[in-house]
Amino acid sequence: MRNLQPGDRPELEKILIGCNAFTSAEVACALELLDNVLTDPDQQDYEVIIAEAQSRVAGYVLFGAVPLTQGNYDLYWIATDPELHGKGFGRQLMEETERRLRARGARMLCLETSSQEFYQRTRHFYVQGGYQEEARIRDFYRPGDDRITYVKRFFDSR
């Protein structure tokens, strides 16, 4: 696991496109966020972790603190090379993200995904990682495509 480097961008673009999970607009958005991190080293909004396999990019995660909250973070993107799916790189990225957040006293990590059947494997991945469905907004993305929000609490403040 390491931080993002400028030379990673082409490999990350290939991964985002190769996943066949994201629309062209979503890929463009993901790349824009990566470019923000690469071009502004002083930005504090996003953090990127890169996973490697045999000296090549295996995947990445991009997350950041939620403004105006105390210790809450959002996971914006996670993607792994489709050729490496099922090899544990996604889990390693999530675990490293959680480790870093716990070390800084974060209370929770939130993420969202689609209710479409295509995302069933993704939802299962989150549930296996200890995330719980916290909210569902019906027809959020388009009719018949709900936004599902998952949360992992690092400690319960109730």
* Phi, psi dihedral angles at 58 (to 5 degrees): -100, -20
The band of 21, judged by pLDDT with boundaries at 50, 70 and 90, is confident
Q: Model pTM?
A: 0.92
Average pLDDT over residues 136-149: 97
Residue 157 has pLDDT above 60, yes or no: no
Mean pLDDT taken over the chain: 94
Average pLDDT over residues 80-88: 90
Residue 94 one-letter amino acid: M
Residue 77 has pLDDT above 70, yes or no: yes
HSE at residue 48, side-chain half, CA atoms within 13 A, is 25
98 contacts 155 by C-beta, under 8 angstroms? no
Taking the domain 2-153, which CATH number applies? 3.40.630.30
